[in-house]
Amino acid sequence: MRGLRSRILRTLQSFPNAAANAQPGLLLPAAPDVAACRSQEEQGGEAGAVPELLPTVSDGGDDKENVSPEVAPRKAKKMRVSLGNEGEGAGGGEAVARCFRRPDPATATLFDPDLLAAFRGAVDEYARALEEAKRRDDDEDDFLLEEEDCGVAGGGADEDPLAGFERWCPPGGERAVVLYTTSLRGVRKTFEDCAAVRRLLEGLRVAFLERDVSMHAPYRDELRTLLLGLDDAAAPVPPRLFVDGRYVGGADEVVTLHEQARLRPALRRAPRRGAGDAACAVCGGAWFIVCGACSGSHRLYDAAGRVACTGCNENGLVPCPLCS
């Protein structure tokens, strides 16, 4: 038994070497290196330090069954730029090349002269169209005024369209259009009526003075003094329109005059506003500016203490000196 066991052990010990010598292309696992494994455990399992356990395959064997195939590197795809002339073939690319003009660095500009000429032509054409539209609007206004003077729009040639309105002239409103409004939204109908009359005057391109009674107490006192006894209420409700020192009426009266084609004749002597006129350069169309003495706080400090600023209203605002 001992002789048989020893022969089997010797056979098993010599079998891997014999098989490797007989078939060199066969992949057989080799015995791991115990020292290398212990060194890797001591280093804490750092990445990239794992020893290679499989031996390399020799190139001399004819047995390719167990040999892994080589992986071919992936080629990068080429991007193809389409010029929109694929159907024309090579002639399309040549046409595009002929249309393109490389800018000359020696010239004053690097842009295409033809493109610049086309752009200048478009700008000049737009300017001419704008001037023509303004001229046409002015001619239309002059024609309407001539019709109104000849009595076509109502009345005779010598009849004053403002003759039927009462003479109540606000301060500075002898030759101007004055509109008293409010910017508070407490009462929705009042705010909408003020906005409707304002849009109506702006649509007729009339230059008018807007006086907000909610932002300036003196305006509210002016309106109350002018219309004292006209309404049953203690304070008249805006909007209220005055033209050349004549009281035209509130929102309902103004809208009715416009529907009857009598509002434009009443505003024929009022100054006009151009279609492209910008807002006031001082207040920006707000009709008020911040007081420079108190910076809008309506308070001043002196030796006696805090006193009210006398140069502004209760809101720290001053009427615009240019447009109010």
Q: Mapped to the 3 state alphabet, what secondary structure does 241-294 carry? A: EEECCEEEECHHHHHHHHHCCCHHHHCCCCCECCCCCCCCCCCCCCCEEECCCC
316 part of a folded domain: yes
**Rounded CA gap, 211 and 179, in Å?**
6
67 part of a folded domain: no
Q: Are residues 145 and 181 in the same domain?
A: no
Q: Are residues 262 and 282 in the same domain?
A: no
Q: What is the DSSP letter of 206?
A: B
77 part of a folded domain: no
Alpha-carbon distance values, 302 to 1, 287, 305, 309 (Å): 127, 30, 5, 11
138 part of a folded domain: yes
13 part of a folded domain: no
- Taking each helix axis from N to C terminus, what angle separates 188-203 and 251-259, rounded to the nearest 10 degrees? 40
Give the list of residues 6+ apart from residue 38 with CB closer than 8 angstroms, or none: none
119 part of a folded domain: yes
Q: Are residues 205 and 248 in the same domain?
A: yes
Over the stretch 82-115, which tens digit does the pLDDT of each residue have?
544 444 455 555 665 566 666 666 666 566 778 7
Say what the pLDDT of residue 153 is. 45
| Global pTM value | 0.54
Which of 266, 292, 310 delimits the end of a domain? 266
- Domain hosting 232: range is 177-266
Least confident interval from 53-57, 121-125, 168-172 = 53-57
- Under the banding of pLDDT at 50, 70 and 90, the label for residue 3 is confident
* Mean pLDDT of the chain, nearest integer: 75
Residues 159, 165, 171, 176, CA torsion sign: negative
**Residue 63 CB-density burial (10 A; 0-12 exposed, 13-18 middle, 19+ buried):** exposed
- Under the banding of pLDDT at 50, 70 and 90, the label for residue 232 is low
CB atoms within 10 A of CB 213: 25
19 part of a folded domain: no
Mean pLDDT confidence for 172-199: 93
Q: Do residues 294 and 300 touch, judged by C-beta distance below 8 A?
A: yes
What total of structural domains would you count in the chain? 3
30 part of a folded domain: no
Which of 128, 159, 190 delimits the end of a domain? 159
Angle at 220 between CA 217 and CA 225, to 5 degrees: 125
Q: Are residues 143 and 210 in the same domain?
A: no
Which of 224, 245, 266 delimits the end of a domain? 266
Q: Are residues 292 and 262 in the same domain?
A: no
Say what the pLDDT of residue 243 is. 94
